[in-house]
């Protein structure tokens, strides 16, 4: 078993030696809402920085990111005009389908973890937002990127899996999770 683990680690390490990793920055618009019935989407922004690490000579890559994301909802049966500012870490793997030397399509999926750094709601029953809902979120992140030379267009989707309800005082009778989709533009260097 030790030999198998060492062989896998050696092959991964050698594939990174041939890879040419690069850094990317991205920014765009985001629509998000909670999973509860009657939730209306909230417009926000999404932006971040990350790494794009090809796995050897293959078309597969590893892409860790650090992202700022505004999530919440405009209206619903719980937390009207709720905006949460998240520091999010998506860690995705994917494949880059190359159409030519400078044009390609990237498809990726992986987990994300997020922490709310600030938030507010117009609900008069909520005096401290993070006493009512959890500061921490986690889920699945998926995305697609169209690369044209060093510029790329992206579409990301986050599907929250963690129930954010912290308070029994405002029980809505269902789990409260996040949903968000974003589009934007980025640059690699």
The pLDDT confidence band at residue 80, using thresholds 50, 70 and 90, is confident
How far apart CA 41 and CA 166 sit, in angstroms, is 22
Q: Which of the two residues, 38 and 66, has the higher pLDDT score?
A: 66
pLDDT at 10: 53
pLDDT at 170: 59
pLDDT at 76: 76
3-state secondary structure the chain: CHHHHHHHHHHHHHHHHHCCCEEEEEEEEEEEEECCCCCECEEEEEEEEEEEEECCCCCEEEEEEEEEEEEEECECCCCCCEEEEEEEEEEEEEEEEECCCCEEEEEEEEEEEEEEEEEECCCCCCCCHHHHECCEEEEEEEEEEEEECCEEEEEEEEEECCCCECCCCCCCCCCCCEEEEEEEEEEEC
Each residue's pLDDT tens digit, 132-171: 889 999 999 999 999 999 999 999 999 999 998 876 655 6
The pLDDT confidence band at residue 131, using thresholds 50, 70 and 90, is confident
- What phi and psi, each to the nearest 5 degrees, are found at residue 162? -95, 130
Of the CA atoms within 13 Å of residue 113, those in its CB half-sphere come to 2
- What residues does each domain of the chain span? 19-188
Which of 3-7, 8-12, 113-117 has the lowest average pLDDT?
A: 8-12
Q: Which of the two residues, 145 and 55, has the higher pLDDT score?
A: 145
Q: What is the mean pLDDT of the chain?
A: 87
Tell whether the model's pLDDT for residue 8 goes beyond 60: no
The pLDDT confidence band at residue 15, using thresholds 50, 70 and 90, is very low
- The CATH architecture one would assign to domain 19-188 is Beta Barrel (2.40)
Q: Which of 58, 63, 49 is nearest to 21 (CA)?
A: 63
């Amino acid at each position: 078993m030790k030999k198998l683990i060492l062989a896998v680690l050696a092959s991964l390490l050698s594939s990174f030696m041939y890879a040419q990793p690069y850094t990317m920055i991205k920014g765009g618009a985001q629509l998000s809402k909670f999973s509860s019935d009657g939730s209306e989407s909230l417009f926000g922004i999404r932006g971040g920085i990350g790494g794009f690490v090809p796995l050897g000579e293959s078309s597969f890559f590893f892409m860790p990111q650090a992202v700022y994301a505004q999530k919440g909802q405009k209206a619903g049966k719980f937390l009207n005009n709720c905006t949460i500012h998240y520091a999010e870490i998506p860690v995705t793997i994917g494949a880059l389908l190359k159409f030519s030397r400078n044009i390609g399509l990237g498809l990726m999926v992986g987990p994300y973890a997020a922490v709310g750094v600030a938030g507010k709601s117009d609900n008069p029953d909520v005096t401290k937002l993070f006493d009512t809902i959890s500061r921490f979120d986690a889920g699945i992140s998926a995305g697609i990127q169209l690369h044209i030379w060093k510029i790329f267009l992206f579409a990301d989707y986050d599907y929250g899996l963690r129930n954010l309800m912290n308070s029994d005082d405002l029980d809505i009778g269902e789990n409260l999770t996040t949903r968000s989709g974003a589009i934007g533009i980025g640059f690699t260097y």
